[in-house]
Structure 1
Amino acid sequence: MSAHELLRVMMKLTISKVTGRARLGVITSRGHTGEKTLEVPGCLLYTRTASPPHLTHDTLQNIAGVPPVTHVTLSTLAEHQDVLEEYKEGIGKFSGLSDTLLYCSIHDPVTPNPPGYNTSKTVSVWGSGGRLELTPQKFVSLLSTLKVDWVQSLSDGEVLAEGGFRKRAQKSVDRSLAFLDECLKLMSEKEALQQIAVIGAIEGGDLQEERLRSARETAKRPVSGFLLDGFQEQSASFEAKLNLISAVTAELPEDKPRLVHGIGRPDQVLDCIERGVDLFDSTFPYEVTERGCALSFTHQHPPDPETSGEPQHPVLEKEKPCNGERNEEESDPEIDQSSITSYEICLKEKRYREDFRPLLAGCTCYCCRNHSRAYVYHLLTSRELLAGILLMIHNFQQYFSFFQSVRRALRDGTFQDLKQRIQRRAP
């Protein structure tokens, strides 16, 4: 069986509908735990050190719509290679995630990496123990230990260099292609690694010509999909990023999925889907949780008034306090309001201390069915660990259901209606 034939066995994207450039379909992939399907547009289950943030395996079961593909990061796992080699069963079984497919990225999208440490021979990752240099040989050795199902190809995503941006972007593409070729060669020599779906990284920073060169050259290699890398960086406006994404996806084959890291705000997700992106990470609900916030935007289709006594979800408008207008004196001066998006409410604010409504009306998550905003406010101000657990349950479930609504809207031909509703909350 050729490398290209093997790719189609390990990962297959079936597109059922295209609206503009937004793609509705299903990824079928075979991994260590058998065959799984993932609907697109969709997202992956984000983890830190292969554990869902704040959650145990049991509490994760309380969340509806958990994706069948889990996102782990090499930067948090590489330093534990010796332990995992001794264990011999892989990171999935070690961390209680043996019932999902595992996608491994090189870096954690939440944690920025210090620039200036990559070379033509190594890529540096940063874990709790400091910096670790990865050669293609070390990278492939880690894959043998981790036993993941999908993996981002080893790549040099650095493009910022004082006085030499264009040259550095060109170098990032050249190095990434060289790393990809070497890793594919090494993986082809080990039978167990031939079953891993390699996701080729598209590099080149903000230079369109380099992004297109990276896309065209990567598409010539036997990769299973594509990662549009580096778009989580703040070097360009979001509109400029969208233009780049649109140009890049136009160069990629239609039968392989496109993934992006670090773009998670609902309105921005919809913008990317319109430009041909299929998969996203779920770092956004984690970051919302870390701010002590709860996702508060609605996205489902309005329920049929003839079959429901009251609306399942409130009218989509900016969150208002339950007792009149917000009193600025009630705000905690330590809260960084600049980082809070219009899609969330900050439950550290004093105005929620006597608010006994659920986090979001109509939400069916465990937290909203059993607890109030006032209770979560109390947990946050008391620094109780339960606060993070409840917020993570709510935020994950809301985010996963958002993607269900996106797919439903694409099927029903109401994607633009959904986008207009979501954009009404945009800053």
Structure 2
Amino acid sequence: MAGSRMKLELSRVVQGRSRLGVLRGLGRTGQHSLEVPGCLLYTHFGTVPHLTQDTLHTLSNLPSVTQVTLSNIAEHQEVLEEFKDGFRKFAGLHDTVLYCSLHDPATFCPTGYTTNKTVSVWGSGGRIELTVAKFMALQKTVQPDWYQSMADGETWQNNTSRKRVRKSVDRTLTHLDECLLVHQKSQELEGVEVFGVVEGGDILEERLRSAKETAKRPVAGFCLDGLQTGTMDQALRTQLITAVTKELPEDKPRLLQGVGRPDEVLACVEAGVDLFESFFPFQVTERGCALCFSFDVSPDPERAGRAPPAVLELDEERDTAGETQQNGGLNLDDQTQMTSFEINLKDKRYQDDFRPLVDGCGCYCCKNHQRAYLHHLLVTNELLAGVLLMIHNTAHYHSFFDALREALANDKLDLLKRRVLREKEMTRKP
């Protein structure tokens, strides 16, 4: 395996841990790059849910890396093998970097199916068991630009024993070594990068062991697994990530799996995370909700021609989210529950609300439609509701990452946190 082309160039590190920079040398020819902190484009089988390629490309600030998951692809292996030209061509994805992960971050993954030799993924037809040989055969068929190594990530339940966590770290390292062995002998995977997976559940010593050992291998970057939303509280997650990132090389990216909520993203960036999966806008869309939180830290909205939508102060919406939170007794840590960063457009109050979803948002939905129309589409179960919500939620979320990078560049991270977290405070009012 030749030296990795993928290189993380940091322009600054804020408060010792938050990293701002550019991930360069992406793709087989190395012509792509991705700003960090950043996120990947979340897809189902290469397509952003609800959106056609044409609709998707009306959005301006999309990341250059598209995420596909083996849980979607494994059941179509024969078709892809027959096609022979790789998944990018098969799915009509042009000019994007392809990253292949094991599981879909927006879907719950049943546990108890991992063995010493196999991991399981779950497609629409049920469980598919993967050995290293089958996993690597899939990678050769997909021909991604980078992929995460096979890993035993089944240690995120709080009551997992220390022995089970240790076993997961051992298995994951063994899988990585076996994957690298096949990778190095494979012509089809020449120029493809591998990310090692850091496991360790909620046990600090195992996390550190996993990080140190993975860092010794010829990997291009790291996936931090088992820290998903709903599996542990943010304070513990931050503590573990902070300790782990100290053991990882500075010039390689760290991708956090299964965390997407804006408040959690901010905390994890402060702990040293570079990349996230952007499944959160999809989850919000599936709930019939619209992202509606403020992240504007720029006094001059016209700066340099690349202003993210000026999200105006949304005090009333914050109250709305707060009320929903209290009335429904929702658990903020559950991935399926509405969060305080969104508004529920199925709510009757929106049937006569003729404002855009977010004032000043430049997305197609906000420019052309009102909340009342989206409310109508949702209550009549029109497919267009999902399309319009996904356009807005994707645009809003990626603009949040623009604002995050800008805040890091201009020493405004604390201001951004105050903007974003005001929603959280609203939910805590007695």
Task: Give yes or no for TM over 0.5.
Answer: yes
Other structure's SS at 2:178 match: helix
Distance 1:107 1:61 in 2: 26
> What TM-score do you get using the length of structure 2 for normalisation?
0.91
Partner residue of 2:86 out of 73, 78, 90: 90
Partner of 2:51: 55
- Contact 1:160 1:168 (8 Å CA) reproduced: no
Partner of 2:12: 17
Partner residue of 1:186 out of 182, 186, 191: 182
Partner residue of 1:343 out of 337, 341, 344: 341
Q: CA deviation at 1:162?
A: 10
More displaced, 22-31 or 336-345? 336-345
- Contact 2:158 2:202 (8 Å CA) reproduced: no
> After superposition, what is the alpha-carbon deviation per residue over 1:392-411, rounded to whole angstroms, capped at 9, x for unaligned?
00000000011001111111
Q: CA deviation at 1:194?
A: 3.0
Partner of 1:372: 370
Other structure's SS at 2:68 match: strand
Distance 2:301 2:44 in 1: 42
> What TM-score do you get using the length of structure 1 for normalisation?
0.91
Distance 2:157 2:376 in 1: 46
Partner of 2:243: 247
Query: Are 2:283 and 1:291 aligned?
Result: no
Q: CA deviation at 1:268?
A: 1.0
Partner of 1:134: 130
> After superposition, what is the alpha-carbon deviation per residue over 1:276-317, rounded to whole angstroms, capped at 9, x for unaligned?
00000101111010010001112123444999xxx9432253
Partner of 1:36: 32
Partner of 1:394: 392
Query: Are 2:103 and 1:114 aligned?
Result: no
Distance 1:304 1:164 in 2: 50
Q: Percent identity?
A: 56
Judged with a 3 Å threshold, the aligned counterparts in structure 2 of structure 1 residues 297 and 193 are, in CA distance, closer, same or farther, namely same
Distance 1:59 1:353 in 2: 26
Q: CA deviation at 1:63?
A: 1.1
Structure 2, gaps ≥5 residues long: 304-308, 332-336
Partner of 1:278: 274
Other structure's SS at 1:195 match: coil
Distance 1:129 1:175 in 2: 27
Partner of 1:315: 313
Q: CA deviation at 1:337?
A: 5.7
Partner residue of 2:404 out of 382, 406, 420: 406
Other structure's SS at 2:31 match: strand
- Contact 1:33 1:101 (8 Å CA) reproduced: no
Partner residue of 1:6 out of 3, 7, 13: 3
Q: CA deviation at 1:34?
A: 5.3
Other structure's SS at 1:6 match: coil
Q: CA deviation at 1:336?
A: 9.0
Other structure's SS at 1:93 match: helix
More displaced, 417-426 or 275-284? 417-426
Aligned ranges 1:157-172 → 2 under 5 Å: 157-159=153-155, 165-172=161-168
Q: CA deviation at 1:348?
A: 0.4
Distance 1:236 1:66 in 2: 30
Judged with a 3 Å threshold, the aligned counterparts in structure 2 of structure 1 residues 305 and 123 are, in CA distance, closer, same or farther, namely closer
Q: CA deviation at 1:160?
A: 6.0
Structure 1, gaps ≥5 residues long: none
Where has structure 1 moved over 3 Å in runs of 4 or more? 160-164, 302-307, 334-338
Distance 2:126 2:368 in 1: 41
Distance 2:416 2:108 in 1: 32
Q: How many residues align?
A: 411
Instruction: Give the partner amino acid of 1:129.
Output: G
RMSD of the TM alignment (CA)?
2.3
Judged with a 3 Å threshold, the aligned counterparts in structure 2 of structure 1 residues 161 and 414 are, in CA distance, closer, same or farther, namely closer
Partner of 1:381: 379
Distance 2:329 2:70 in 1: 30
Distance 2:315 2:158 in 1: 44
Partner residue of 2:230 out of 231, 234, 240: 234
- Contact 1:47 1:72 (8 Å CA) reproduced: yes
